[in-house]
Structure 1
Amino acid sequence: MTRLLTVCLGNYCRSPFAALALARRGGEAVQVRSAGLIGKWRGQPAHPAMVAAARRLGHDLTGHRAEQVSTQMLDWADTVLAMDGAVLETLRAISSDQQAAKLRLYLPDRDVPDPMGGAQEVFNDCVVLIEAATALHLP
């Protein structure tokens, strides 16, 4: 079984949806968790616009509650997928050598843009991009 951890800044928009999309694609062959670098939204549901965008693609994000990344999560994961370069750099700074070897960008050639502060269309575009990229990580 493959264990994936998706990480964004607050675990409020991108990483929760990425975890949900990867779990759906991978089925029983994968375990997926998500977390954020900061604990600002710890225990809170996903951003309402992200919940609405996820719903448009048939995903239910209403059960999500934000978590802050921990050493235990990094140890648990086989692969840690950072949603952007800044998140990746911070993860590298807080990781052991063994954990750092697991770190990757979610998209190999660019950041997943953070939709925070954007209109609903920005969130809609974000989930389409994230869902399409699940194929990069799972068959």
Structure 2
Amino acid sequence: MRKLLTVCLGNYCRSPFARTALTRRGGAAMTVRSAGLIGKWQDQPANPSMINAARRLGLDLAPHRAQQITLEMLDWADDVLAMDAAVLDTLRAICGEQNAHKLGLYLRDRDVPDPMGQGDDVFNECAVLIEAGTALHIDRRLL
């Protein structure tokens, strides 16, 4: 079973949505966790606008509670998917040599823009982008 860790700044919008979307799409072939670089929203639910965007796509983010990344999470994962280049740079600085090969961008060659502080339409666009990006991480041979 493949183990993925999605990471954004606060584990409040993008990475929990990515975890939920990947879990639905990957099924039993993968286990997905999410985390944030900062603990500002530790143990808090996802952003209400992202919860609504997820609901529009048939996903339930209500059970999510934010958590800050740990070295144990990095060790656990087969792949660590950063939502943007700034998150990826920070992960490179903290992950250690043993985990550096696991790091990459969720969309491979571009950022998932952070919707924080913007309107519901931006959250909806972000959710659609992340949902489409799940195809980059699904190994069809395992499904």
| TM, length-normalised to structure 2 | 0.96
* 1:82-103 Cα distance to aligned partner (Å, 9 max, x none): 0000000000000111111100
Gaps of 5+ in 1: none
Q: Percent identity?
A: 71
Q: Secondary structure at the match of 2:104?
A: strand
Q: Which residue of 1 aligns with 2:93?
A: 93
Q: Could you say what secondary structure the match of 1:4 adopts?
A: strand
AA paired with 1:82? Answer: A
Q: Which stretches of structure 1, 4 residues or more, deviate above 2 A after TM superposition?
A: none
Taking the aligned partners of 2:64 and 2:43, their CA distance within structure 1 comes to 9
Q: Which residue of 1 aligns with 2:126?
A: 126
Map of 1:51 onto structure 2: 51
Note the alpha carbon deviations across 1:27-58, whole angstroms, 9 max, x for none.
01100000000000000000000000000000
Normalised TM-score (structure 1):
0.99
Alignment of 1:5-84 (within 5 A): 5-84=5-84
**Structure 2: which 5+ residue stretches go unaligned?**
none
Aligned equivalents of 2:52 and 2:17: distance in 1?
Answer: 11
**Equivalent position SS for 1:59:** coil
Count of aligned pairs:
139
